[in-house]
Chain A
């Protein structure tokens, strides 16, 4: 065999091994990601009932048209959007500030990081159960708020009032994830070379100027990343709302889209309609991910 041919056959063999290594995962994804998402789309075009033996009727975009006219669906969209905006903006702002504060400390950095991260490792069901007790009329939530406002004996109706229950779910989510995103910001901050700050010091910058003109612009990729991840996570929220309604909170204010999908499919047996909702959620999330790829690629920073 000539040398060229030998190299060629080695390369071909290596290529084969590449496929062999990737194959198990590819098979998995085709069965458990691509196939179901196509089925979801296909099912969304039918009027299909769970457990029904009748062949489903093809109604084209009927489910989508139904949803667009359904106040229940729009209520879910509203609940999801309110929850997402009301959660990810505070998370973004607070985690950025906390990360800057922690990074500027010389002592207890590690302790603070662990303390802030710790709620993220608790399971979301446990988190919801703890907060359900805190939000009890006789619980800590009222005690703290009454202590702050000096208003003894007032019940703030954390779980009963339709606005308060939305705030309550946001508070639980904020509590659980603010530390996680703080850690991501701390890593982002650590990747900014110290020499830039030293150069700024020579040029006469102060801490405030440093923050606005150096830290914030250089942190833009991390900020975009955190906002997209947290936004996607908020769009997918389920456990907190589910547990809260199980614990007696009213459904309508916190009937987020995932909860609605679950109820439509499992309680109402409307598989087609639930699939249509899934596809809408998928499209919304795809849009956000697409924005992430777009913006993160344009913002690669090299030092």
Chain B
């Protein structure tokens, strides 16, 4: 009896080893597929164009060809406008992140910790805006922006994104578990409601705030459609618009193109690897979303 059990155990472990190797094979293949294009961008950014489209592709640059980066930053016309465009992207992303955090925290706190008539209706309405795709309202927004002469300005780029329903939802979920006793204790000590928000709620919600700020920053860094509509001058372009313009210019070769793309990606990749836990917890919060 003892023997048979042992035998079975051994057989099982052999087949499980095969499965183990197969699973690792799949995971590694997939990781290669996913990492390859990013790696390609960085290696190609150090090559002259003639090396990039060579068959077969050499993954290690022969010697580091920094000229691509210089051309990318300087621009084909030597105006260094890319630096200004990076600055624009930073301004827009940072301002939107700050305002989203503040407004979402306020509304999330109000919805989580105060009962007032019509609260659930307000909550439903805010959640309802998640159903309105930006693509469906961009034209009316564009018409309003032109009427108010907001094209080609920071307010024009920033205003439509000051807060979003997902942020409010995220903050509300976070605050709902916050103990009421602490808030009541502060009230008894004579703290005003706004002081409670500032001195108790905000300092205690750093993880949620960081998650929301990072996700918002990333979304704005990626925003293409709205800047495409409202921006006209070179000075007000954001990074995605600069990349599109740079791509269309005839002096741009593949190496310079990849250098420009790499410059646009380095900040966000650094933020990602430094603060990866907030990115991952952002996905976690999303998946805890319920009707």
Chain B residue at minimum C-beta to C-beta distance from A35: B140
- Chain B residues with CB below 8 A from A115, complex form: 31, 34-35
Task: Decide yes or no: A184 and B248 within 8 Å by CB, A32-B141, A126-B261, A130-B41 being known contacts.
Answer: no
Q: Is A275 an interface position by the 8 A CB rule? A: yes
Nearest A residue to B105, CB-CB? A21
A123 touches B126 (CB 8 A): no
Q: Is A19 an interface residue (CB 8 A)?
A: yes
- A14–B193 alpha-carbon span in the complex (Å): 8
Closest to A125 in B: B240
| Chain B residues proximal to chain A, CB less than 8 Å | 23-24, 26-27, 30-31, 33-38, 40-41, 44, 52-57, 103-104, 106-107, 109-111, 113-117, 119, 122, 125-126, 129-144, 159-160, 162-163, 165, 168, 193-194, 197, 218, 221-222, 224-225, 228-229, 239-240, 243-244, 247-248, 254, 257-258, 261, 264-265, 268-269, 271-273, 276, 279-280, 283-284, 286-291
- Select which of A15, A134, A265 is within 8 A of B116 by beta carbon: A15
Main secondary structure on chain A at its contact with chain B?
helix
Contact A184 B33 (CB under 8 A): no
Closest to A132 in B: B247
B57, B268, B289: the one contacting A140 at CB < 8 Å is B57
Instruction: Tell me which of A17, A183, A262 contacts B280 (CB under 8 A).
Output: A183
Q: Are B110 and A17 in contact (CB under 8 A)?
A: yes
Contact between B290 and A123, CB atoms less than 8 A apart: no
- Bound-complex Cα distance A286 to B265 (A): 33
CB closest residue in chain B, given A296: B291
A113-B280, A246-B248 as given contacts; A125 in contact with B139, CB under 8 Å: no
Least Cβ distance of B30 to chain A in Å?
6
Q: In chain B, what residue has the closest Cβ to A288?
A: B131
Evaluate contact between A133 and B280: CB separation under 8 angstroms: no
**Which one of A83-91, A100-108, A158-166 is at the interface?**
A100-108
Q: Are B23 and A258 in contact (CB under 8 A)?
A: no
Please state if A112 and B106 are interface contacts (CB–CB under 8 Å): no
19 A-B pairs whose Cβ atoms sit less than 8 Å apart in the complex: A14-B116, A19-B110, A25-B168, A32-B159, A33-B132, A36-B141, A40-B136, A105-B27, A115-B34, A122-B38, A125-B244, A130-B258, A143-B55, A184-B284, A225-B287, A229-B286, A242-B224, A278-B135, A300-B290
State the CA gap A37–B138 with chains docked (Å).
9
| Inter-chain contact A25/B40, CB cutoff 8 Å | no
Chain A contacts for B247, CB-based, 8 A? 129, 243, 246-247
User: In the assembled complex, which residues on chain B have CB atoms less than 8 Å from the CB atom of A131?
Assistant: 37
Asked if B122 and A122 make an inter-chain contact with CB atoms under 8 angstroms apart, the answer reads no
CB <8 Å contact, B163 and A285: no
- Residues of A contacting B243 in the complex (Cβ-Cβ under 8 angstroms): 125-126, 129
- The residue among A25, A143, A281, A286 with the most chain B CB atoms within 10 A of its own CB is A25
Task: Kindly report which residue of chain B lies nearest to residue A281, judged by CB atoms.
Answer: B136
A26 on the B face (CB < 8 A): yes
Whether A40 contacts B139 in the complex (CB less than 8 A), given A98-B30, A118-B38, A175-B37, comes out as: yes
How far in angstroms is the closest Cβ of chain B from A43? Answer: 7
Closest to B33 in A: A175
Report whether B265 and A14 are in contact in the complex, using a CB–CB cutoff of 8 Å. no
Q: Does A33 contact B137, Cβ atoms closer than 8 Å?
A: yes
**Is A138's beta carbon under 8 Å from chain B?**
yes
Q: A21-B197, A125-B243 are in contact. Are A278 and B137 (CB under 8 A)?
A: yes
Which residues from 189 to 225 on chain A have a C-beta closer than 8 Å to any C-beta of chain B?
A: 222, 225
